Structure 1
Amino acid sequence: MRFRRVALVGKYHASGSRDALERVVHFLHEQGCEVTLERETAHHMGPLGDGTLDVAGIGAHCDLALVVGGDGTMLGIGRQLGPCGVPLIGINQGRLGFITDIPFDRFADILRPMLRGAYEEEHRALMRAGVWRDGDCVFQTIAMNDVVVNRGGAPSMVELRVEVDGHFVANQRADGLIIASPTGSTAYALSAGGPLIHPAIAGWVMVPIAPHTLSNRPIVLPSDGEIAIEVVAGREPSAHFDMQTFTSLLPGDRIAVRRSAHTLRLLHPVGWSYFDTLRRKLHWNEGVVA
């Protein structure tokens, strides 16, 4: 057995999640694994498995984290566990499933060889982002998908000054601006008109949201530098990180985005292909006879 101590993270807000987790726990026990439930999952689901641990405990004591849910569940735990070096496997109980790519109805057959070492490992870049105010860092976090700066609820644009490695790029008036990783290129950035980026490419995509100037287009930038966004003007602007954490902004605030020193370790079944995922999730080739 390659992974004996397995942490289980669930999508506890969805109906039927406890039954799904019970099935996974039962399967893991049959394989000889010790199963630890992530603390928030256990708080909402009740006791399952052989105990509970918080994220730090999982990082210190578990060989693998198994995520049962959708991409949002993976984002929530992935950006916390990424710096710990614990590999993750995603079982899809959500809708799209770009990074939780194992279908729930087939999880047992697919997981069985993976637990014994038959898998393909992929490393995904993480973003380190901070909000600076009057020279002090007032907020800092890790993001897996994207960093989004956008306007508040008022029907007015936000004005942003963008720099890359200290070089002025442009002042942008728009509903907001997205800085997305290759993983996040299939999320909000895609719906805002950004390109898909293969996960092996060391780059970020910068995508304006409903820009005032139509020549303001998405651009792919290298990930080895720093992107800085300064709030010039706007009513109640905010910054969102993976659309799960956010902070309110003031004029003059700077949001700095760099590549994290850590990466997220994702495990896939043998034969997994990123292009197969895109074709299946984006419905490419529908109606085409191969």
Structure 2
Amino acid sequence: MASPLASPTSEPTSPRIRSPLVEDSNKPRMNRLLSMKYNQRSQLTFDSQGLYGPKAKLWESLPPPERKELVNVMIEDPGCGHHLWWVASPDAVLIMKKFKDPEVTKKFKELCSWIIEGDRMNTIVVEPSILEDPLVTEDDDFKNVRAKFKTWNDNAMSTVLRKVDLIICLGGDGTLLYTSSLFTKAIPPIMSISMGSLGFLTPFSYDSYPADIKRILNGGVSLTLRHRLDCKVMTKDKIDQYHGETCPMEAEEFLAPTVTSKFSALSLNPTNITIDKETESAHYLVMNEVVVDRGPSPYITNLEVFCNGRLITTVQADGIIVATPTGSTAYALAAGASVVHPSTPSMVICPICPHSLSFRPVVVPSGVEISIRVSSQARNSAWASFDGRNRTEIKHGESVVITTATSPVPSINNTGHVTDWFDSLAGCLHWNVREVQKGM
């Protein structure tokens, strides 16, 4: 039996990695940085040590028993061929469910009973709201299973979630998005069971969950790493304190200020630039998209978009979307952006109702930094939202800085990262679904 939640099994010091039940001497240990090279000019590095919770590890290419020396190829695909293996038997599972849905709550209780009564895992972690649901707390037949529940308060949330080995989501895409927002760093593998209205990101069916969970606990299942966006809202709260301070920057540098310096120019003269210090007022991780729009104002936005510090365009539109590949099938799809496979290391920049016939969506490498700043000449401020939440006003001269986060969401595939995606395109979005042309 695996260790309890309070003291999860640490990674063995043996030079071999362990499977769920037995140790195979042919399995080399993943004790290095997993470097995902996107192109020659940008690279993100992810630490494979504990990246997916305390017991889940990622293997590139084939599962360890079939792993062989790989032939060098011209193009490295960082998102394909990832598989999940356990260094110890999973012990704690976080089960998230759709909010205020009696039918989902009923199936949630069935799933919990199956896990605990079958001695498959020792601990079930749930949200605090679950323990306030009368359908859960007032069911006497469920009290033995309920006794195995653990939850958190505001002070101990991160401590409890760090000990979760596996996540099971019962609901739709919104449930998965909310679950990912609970984790700011390492995220355990997520199994998403479709019980929502669309289910583009939920490849598993509730009817087959016993066989599917057993397969996942045995290891070797396919993973898709869904990258998130790291978003910072930069405001100017110290204008008076820094007013009059100068910085010897050339005029050309002012035209492409770098956000990473945390300084932005307010005025320009032939030799010096008067600057104000920017401060980070909010920080979010999003799985779908960041939207900056005109909000309640009747005027179009006037937004300056920078890529790696260089001004690339000015947006005069209802707004702009910066989406992950996962989010390319959400709001960005409705706005006319391209559909991008979630394993593609990229970001999608898409205008919302632009006042220009030539302003088309573009796809940029995931290693770049995107900054969206409200122009000082704008008629109104802008409003930003992050995965549809945390609506924030962005005033003149303030900006939203967007990069790719270093903690992706390891989504467990039902059949494979390609098959699941095309099945979702056809089944949920009816991609290229039409009657076949009759023969002559």
Q: Is this a same-fold pair by TM over 0.5?
A: yes
Amino acid at match of 2:112: V
Unaligned stretches of 5+ residues in structure 2: 1-19, 21-88, 138-144, 237-277
The CA deviation string for residues 143-195 of structure 1, in whole angstroms up to 9 with x for no partner, is 11111101112322111010100111111111110000001001000010000
Contact 2:173 2:200 in 1 (8 A): yes
Q: TM-score, normalised by structure 2?
A: 0.62
Shift of residue 3, structure 1, vs aligned partner: 2.8
Contact 1:11 1:41 in 2 (8 A): no
Alignment of 1:125 with 2:227, yes or no, is yes
Residue in structure 1 matched with residue 100 of structure 2 by the alignment: 13
Counterpart pick for 1:275 among 422, 430, 436: 422
Contact 1:123 1:263 in 2 (8 A): yes
Amino acid at match of 1:277: S
- Greater length-normalized contact order (CA 8 Å, ≥ 6 residues apart): 1
The CA deviation string for residues 208-257 of structure 1, in whole angstroms up to 9 with x for no partner, is 00111121110001110100000122545211111122212211111000
Residue in structure 1 matched with residue 208 of structure 2 by the alignment: 106
The structure with the larger Rg is 2
Alignment of 1:136 with 2:293, yes or no, is no
Residue in structure 2 matched with residue 259 of structure 1 by the alignment: 404
1:12-31 → structure 2 map (5 Å cutoff): 12-31=99-118
1:205-284 → structure 2 map (5 Å cutoff): 205-232=348-375, 233-271=378-416, 273=419, 274-284=421-431
Shift of residue 58, structure 1, vs aligned partner: 4.2
Contact 1:79 1:126 in 2 (8 A): no
Amino acid at match of 2:109: E
Contact 1:278 1:284 in 2 (8 A): yes
Contact 1:76 1:244 in 2 (8 A): no
Contact 2:180 2:187 in 1 (8 A): no
Cα distance 1:139–1:57, how it changes in 2: closer, same or farther (>3 A)?
A: same
Distance 2:301 2:188 in 1: 39
Contact 1:182 1:203 in 2 (8 A): yes
Unaligned stretches of 5+ residues in structure 1: none
Alignment coverage as a number of residue pairs: 290
Contact 1:162 1:227 in 2 (8 A): yes
Shift of residue 288, structure 1, vs aligned partner: 4.6
Residue in structure 1 matched with residue 16 of structure 2 by the alignment: none
Amino acid at match of 1:37: V
Deviating above 6 A after TM superposition, structure 1's stretches of 4 or more consecutive aligned residues are: none
Distance 2:416 2:332 in 1: 28
Residue in structure 2 matched with residue 177 of structure 1 by the alignment: 320
Q: Secondary structure at the match of 1:201?
A: coil
Amino acid at match of 2:390: T
Contact 2:229 2:285 in 1 (8 A): yes
Distance 1:97 1:6 in 2: 22
Higher strand share: 1
Distance 1:194 1:258 in 2: 19
Amino acid at match of 1:173: Q
Contact 1:153 1:236 in 2 (8 A): no
Residue in structure 2 matched with residue 74 of structure 1 by the alignment: 176
Shift of residue 102, structure 1, vs aligned partner: 1.2
Residue in structure 2 matched with residue 3 of structure 1 by the alignment: 90
RMSD value, Cα? 2.2
Amino acid at match of 1:149: V
Shift of residue 279, structure 1, vs aligned partner: 2.0
Distance 1:245 1:13 in 2: 21
